[in-house]
Amino acid sequence: MSKEESLISLQTDSINLNIIGNVCSPYKEKFAIPRQPGLVPSAKGKVKLVDEANNIELVRGLEQFSHIWLLFVFHETMEQGWKPLVRPPRLGGNKKLGVLATRSTFRPNPIGMSVVKLDEIECSNKQVELHISGLDLLDQTPIVDIKPYIPYSDAIPNAQASFAQEQPKKVLTVAFSTPAKIVLQQAIKAYPDLENLIAQILAQDPRPAYKQSLSNNLVIDEKIYGIRLYQFNIKWRLISASQIEVFEIN
């Protein structure tokens, strides 16, 4: 490409990105996905490389890194567009901030980034898969790039993060009803970490921010909630301001 052609391409108002992989995740819907990666260590999945990127040479040496960055597309929300101001859940959903000052999924370009633990790289029948954990990604999320996590440059201990300086301290306890425990026991061979996964997700209180505010004011939330993990439909409710009960797993 000539210098003139390069300048022309840089002046265009859009670019095309190639999808290099798709995520296989236990999260089958947006609700209850942790708001940040690493909050649910039991959340395990994999990235399946596709098309020209499905080549073991692309990940040569990546196994020497414990964590990786995934750059992805918010494929389930991108059609809804974006606004310059959003209401971060961390602020109770009451205060507006500029979208670029938040991690909102509704962005000018629907690009997200997530750091996850790299557990294993597998190549079987010419299919390259990256096994990961601590993920916060919806099933079938498109991946557009993968980069190694570099501790000395990516971790900045003295960084300031406004309203998100520290991890939320409110963690709920999670109990399982007898029928729910029976299903967990039946599924333990195929899904040995299912109970931990459910407990770690619900401990973060995935309810809308205004519902959490009501609980803080001791207003009883009597709503029955549900989440989908793998092929399971899980129903739960608050039984006190600090405890959740999982009462049904189908």
What gap in Å lies between CA 184 and CA 195, rounded to an integer? 7
Domain boundary among 151, 179, 213: 151
Residues 144 and 174 in one domain: no
Quickly state the pLDDT bin for 14 (edges 50, 70, 90).
confident
Question: Residue 92: inside a domain, yes or no?
Answer: no
Question: Residue 101: inside a domain, yes or no?
Answer: no
Q: Is the pTM of this model over 0.85?
A: yes
Question: Residue 179: inside a domain, yes or no?
Answer: yes
C-beta separation of 56 from 174 below 8 A: no
Question: Residue 199: inside a domain, yes or no?
Answer: yes
Question: Residue 86: inside a domain, yes or no?
Answer: no
Domain boundary among 124, 151, 178: 151
Q: What is the number of structural domains in the chain?
A: 2
Quick one: pLDDT at residue 140?
A: 97
Tens of pLDDT, residue by residue over 206-217, are 888 777 666 555
Residues 21 and 136 in one domain: yes
Domain boundary among 88, 120, 151: 151
Residues 63 and 144 in one domain: yes
Residues 67 and 146 in one domain: yes
Question: Residue 100: inside a domain, yes or no?
Answer: no
Residues 119 and 65 in one domain: yes
pLDDT score of 124 more than 80: yes
Average pLDDT for 35-45: 93
What's 48's domain CATH number? 2.40.30.70
Greater pLDDT, 90 or 159 = 159
Residues 175 and 245 in one domain: yes
Q: What is the mean pLDDT of the chain?
A: 90
Residues 144 and 173 in one domain: no
Question: Residue 138: inside a domain, yes or no?
Answer: yes
Tens of pLDDT, residue by residue over 219-235, are 678 899 999 999 999 99
Question: Residue 214: inside a domain, yes or no?
Answer: yes
Domain that holds residue 129: 17-75+110-151
Residues 23 and 147 in one domain: yes
3-state SS, the chain, equals CCHHHHHHHHCCCCCCCCCCEEEECCECCCCCCCCCCCCCCCCEEEEEECHHHCCHHHHCCHHHCCEEEEEEECCCCHHHCCCCEECCHHHCCCCCEEHHHCCCCCCCCCEEEEEEEEEEEEEECCEEEEEEECCCCCCCCEEEEEEECCHHHHCCCCCCCHHHCCCCCCCCEEEECHHHHHHHHHCCCCCCCHHHHHHHHHHCCCCCHHHHHHHHCCCCCCCCEEEEECCEEEEEEEEECCEEEEEEEC
